[in-house]
Amino acid sequence: MTALGTLRIVAFPGAPNLPTFAAMEHGWFRDRGVGVTLELTPSSVFQAQQVAAGEFDVAFTAFDNVVAYASGQGAAGEGVDPGYVVIMGATQLDVSLIVDPSIEAVTDLAGRSIALDALDTGFAFVVYEILTRAGVGLDRCELVAVGATPQRWQSVKSGTHAATLTIEPFTSLARASGFTVLDSSRRLFDSYQGGVVATRRAVLNERAEAVRAFIDGYLDGLAWVLEPSNREAVIGLLRERMDVNPKAVESVLDSVLSPESGLTPLAALLPEGMETVRTLRSRYSPGGTLASIEDFGDLRLWEASIAARGT
């Protein structure tokens, strides 16, 4: 039993979980006095519902999900508010549009189905921007809520849907399987805040010491993952935790280790990237007033942790 109890973490499947895996594997959360359990979510809606119900304490989620719920535009429906409070950043995240090999251009998606996590949260607006820039009206495609990346990738792989958005390792797995990357958030935007780490206000108020210990342990794991001399060990952890095809391991790791397409050094937030997310939401989900970082962010514990590291 750890001194500060256990925090229940919920995250999307993907290689950006490597720092958490590393901290769990090396005992760095335990060394800080906090226990951690990690569950992978099948969708952003499930994640929000379960966080709102108090089933989880910390969520690794898309920044757009935080903005959506803070602005009353969440996908989980009326009455569901996870009360996300951002405590640190996570990823810039390169989100890629994967398509059936028969599709050669974005315009070929007219009349085809596209698998999304949810229709108006998460990374859906990246798809909408890609379609709009190509002159393909959103009403010309069938947009289907399928769930998190593994389910979406399988739906395209099986031929159920023609396209979807992926993160690593699924982007590299799709390429290795002969599927095409038509476009990506990295090409569209100079900066894009993909993932963040959030908790509930009650957890932050009542278990601040445990949350601080979690942040410290995560930053330990992040530093280890980003250390070049640990590359072979990180590859081993990636293959153990995600069963990645050996042919895709190097490209997966290159992407997730790049601050332009993966983990953000020191888990810092990206102001320009956050503004990109808010701009997309205002463009494709108009109405109401979008929340700002001051409305849902509390970085004091992260700042204290960074200061203690002298960085």
pLDDT in tens, 194-205: 999 999 999 999
pLDDT of residue 202: 94
Report all structural domains of the chain as residue ranges with CATH numbers, in order of start. 6-93+192-309 (3.40.190.10), 96-188 (3.40.190.10)
pLDDT in tens, 175-224: 999 999 999 999 999 999 999 999 999 999 999 999 999 999 999 999 99
pLDDT of residue 295: 85
For residue 289 the two structure tokens come to 């007033």
CA-CA distance, 17 to 29, in Å (whole number)? 14
Angle between helices 63-70 and 271-284 (to 10 degrees): 60
Give the three-class secondary structure for 154.
Answer: helix
pLDDT at residue 97 greater than cutoff 80: yes
pLDDT of residue 121: 85
Peptide bond into 16 cis (omega under 30): no
pLDDT of residue 174: 94
Tell me the mean pLDDT in the region 122-147.
Answer: 95
For residue 131 the two structure tokens come to 């379609």
pLDDT at residue 69 greater than cutoff 90: yes
pLDDT in tens, 131-141: 999 999 999 99
| Average pLDDT score, the chain | 94
pLDDT band of 1, cuts 50, 70, 90: low
pLDDT at residue 77 greater than cutoff 70: yes
pLDDT in tens, 241-295: 998 888 889 999 999 999 999 999 999 999 999 999 999 999 998 777 888 888 8
Whether residue 26 contacts residue 76, with contact meaning beta carbons closer than 8 Å, is answered with no
**Residue 200 to residues 47, 76, 139: CA-CA distances in angstroms?**
13, 16, 36
